[in-house]
Structure 1
Amino acid sequence: MTTLTRPDGTHPQDLHLTRRATVSMFAAGYALAGWSAEARPVTTPVDGLTIEEVTIPNGAPQPLPAFVARPRGTGRHPAVIVVNEIFGIHAYIKDVCRRLARAGYVAIAPDFFYRSGVDLPSLTDFKQIMPVVQQAGIPQVDGDVRAVSAWLKGRPFTKPASIGITGFCWGGSVVWRAAMVDPDIRAGVAWYGRLGGLAERADELHAPVLGLYGALDQGIPQTEVAAMRAALKAAGKPSEIVVYPDAPHGFHADYRDSYRAADAADGWARALRWFKAHGVA
């Protein structure tokens, strides 16, 4: 258990962490806390793509930074918000954005942990990472998601009525909530997001969510997955949950030893079909 040093939680300065300051998201490599020496991560080429960093007004003193990958040239495209795991915006998340961009999407990965100023991908100690993540409370994160979708609607390269969201681990839970609280979200794909407290809110879903989970996930009990399925059915919501029998947590993360290439590829294909079937196309 993390020991909090203040009544409102541990602050980055309490942990003597390296502050990111002006370091660009372009400079971040793979998250050191999750990296496997045996990993051979997917690297997506950038030809034909526009890659940029943007800042998004969100009501905070400093606007929300985000990494964007999109098809080069004019024209409007559907958009997908990409929500990171606990490691922030690092090489894997940026490559996911490039993969989506090559599939014809505007992909945007907001830096939900930017307020801390901490360079999360460079940390190796989970005891340092988790207090930073815990400071990003639910109202704050959900508000940031709404700020991103509002920003996307105003871009000349985005189809304003075709916005989806996908996320991994910590980000998977954000996906479920976004489909409840952000009216601009048309569909979501949640990769092994925790489900605690969400089944009770299934009737709040206004957008369909595809949940992709591993039966061998040690952090998400199958009882929670079954409870969510039952809640979705009881609420009459057109969402779906797929469980891969031999997959652990993080099976899409190609920089970690949890990666399962076949399940990751199947999940990716399902995600693209899900978006197209539900208006994010």
Structure 2
Amino acid sequence: MTDGDVDGNAGLDGLIVPPLSRRGFVMTSLISGFTLAVTPVEAQVVHTDAAGIEAGEVQIPAADGPMPGYRAVPEGPGPFPLVLVVEEIFGVHEYIKDICRRLAKAGYCAVAPELYARQGDLSQMTDPKLIIRDVISKTPDAQWIGDLDATVAWATSAAKGDGARLGVMGWCRGGRAAWLYDAHRRDLKAAVAWYGPLGGDPTDIQPRSAGSVAAALNAPLLGLYGGGDTGIPVASAEAARDAANTAGKRVELVVYPDAPHGFHADYRPSYRKDAAEDGWRRALAFLKANGVG
């Protein structure tokens, strides 16, 4: 891989501000079970077994040490198309791990790095507001972007991932990441953003919003949003789509009229089965149609 594959585009250099912090990792392993910050609705939790796939926790070489993550991949020699799975604010817990297994069952090498491992121990945090204040808002965009790049390098060299068929899929804050990573990574083939926030005030360490990079996307992006999401106005998703398409990029937007934020999260009361299943079918079809498959 050359520097030209991953350099930021014009106007996006503010996202790329190395070197990374040398504070080290607070989390050295992943959450066991579900996040403590949400009481799961056990009756509706989707569980995907590991038959026919290899799945488990991994250590991903990052710039400042090993980063915990989860990988699921089909059995066999590969390489398999590679999908980066980007977590919500709650960490790589059982829901995110299960998503990786679902993707592996569909033929993908799916890897979810714990992108907040330096900023706080999400396995011990119970208050979403404190997670946002003390972890999410203090994680530099340059840091997690570098970690995703490191994940690609590791997955393609040691985990049966095919970097020539690279996609990214993220939920909630990870949906924001899907937009930003799409604007960063020139060899990305496709991105899927599940209800990713599009606005927000810029800071020194988070200088761009997802909406502000819409015209600089490198790969086609599918946005899956809820019409009942009180935190993300549908108008903001439509504006980002229009800005991208006006600039000659391609963003497809699907809005589920009555779905709230988090409608894919089967472990939470926000889960909406019909919207989640339809969105999943669309996401897989979008990846395949755009070279990740």
Q: Distance in 2 between matches of 1:37 and 1:249?
A: 16
Q: 1:158: which partner in 2? A: 161
Secondary structure, in 3 states, of the residue corresponding to 2:44? coil
Contact 1:89 1:121 survives alignment (8 Å): no
| TM superposition shift of 1:94 | 0.3
Q: 1:252: which partner in 2? A: 264
Secondary structure, in 3 states, of the residue corresponding to 2:118? helix
RMSD, aligned CA: 1.8
| TM superposition shift of 1:87 | 0.2
1:273 aligned to which of 252, 277, 285: 285
1:107 aligns to 2:110 (yes or no): yes
1:184 aligned to which of 168, 184, 187: 187
Report how many residues are paired.
Answer: 259
Secondary structure, in 3 states, of the residue corresponding to 2:162? strand
1:128 aligns to 2:140 (yes or no): no
* Counterpart mapping for 1:7-26 below 5 A: 22=28, 24-25=29-30
Contact 1:149 1:184 survives alignment (8 Å): no
Q: Distance in 2 between matches of 1:192 and 1:226?
A: 12
Q: 2:46: which partner in 1? A: 42
Secondary structure, in 3 states, of the residue corresponding to 2:181? helix
Q: Distance in 2 between matches of 1:177 and 1:122?
A: 28
What amino acid maps onto 1:94 in structure 2?
Answer: K
1:67 aligns to 2:61 (yes or no): no
Which has the larger displacement, 256-265 or 219-228?
219-228
Q: Deviations along 1:43-83, whole A, 9 cap, x unmatched?
A: 001111111322223312x2222110111222211111100
What amino acid maps onto 1:54 in structure 2?
Answer: V
Q: Distance in 2 between matches of 1:59 and 1:107?
A: 21
| TM superposition shift of 1:237 | 1.1
Q: 1:171: which partner in 2? A: 174
Contact 1:70 1:101 survives alignment (8 Å): yes
What TM-score do you get using the length of structure 1 for normalisation? 0.87
1:79 aligns to 2:91 (yes or no): no
Secondary structure, in 3 states, of the residue corresponding to 1:144? helix
Q: Distance in 2 between matches of 1:154 and 1:32?
A: 34
Q: 1:202 to 1:127 in 2, by over 3 A?
A: closer
Which has the larger displacement, 214-223 or 264-273?
214-223
Q: Distance in 2 between matches of 1:142 and 1:168?
A: 16
Secondary structure, in 3 states, of the residue corresponding to 1:45? coil
1:227 aligned to which of 235, 239, 253: 239
What amino acid maps onto 2:67 in structure 1?
Answer: L
2:36 aligned to which of 10, 32, 37: 32
Secondary structure, in 3 states, of the residue corresponding to 1:70? strand
1:214 aligns to 2:226 (yes or no): yes
Contact 1:39 1:257 survives alignment (8 Å): no
2:254 aligned to which of 242, 264, 272: 242
Which has the larger displacement, 102-111 or 232-241?
232-241
Secondary structure, in 3 states, of the residue corresponding to 1:231? helix
List 4+ stretches of structure 1 deviating above 4 A. Answer: 19-22
| TM superposition shift of 1:221 | 1.1
Secondary structure, in 3 states, of the residue corresponding to 1:227? helix
Contact 1:64 1:110 survives alignment (8 Å): yes
Q: Deviations along 1:237-278, whole A, 9 cap, x unmatched?
A: 122111000100000000000000000000000000000000
Q: Distance in 2 between matches of 1:183 and 1:57?
A: 22
Contact 2:55 2:73 survives alignment (8 Å): yes
1:55 aligns to 2:59 (yes or no): yes
What amino acid maps onto 2:130 in structure 1?
Answer: Q
Contact 1:36 1:256 survives alignment (8 Å): yes
Contact 2:82 2:161 survives alignment (8 Å): yes
Q: Distance in 1 between matches of 2:194 and 2:279?
A: 9
Structure 2 alignment gaps of length 5 or more: 1-24, 200-208
Which has the larger displacement, 63-72 or 171-180?
63-72
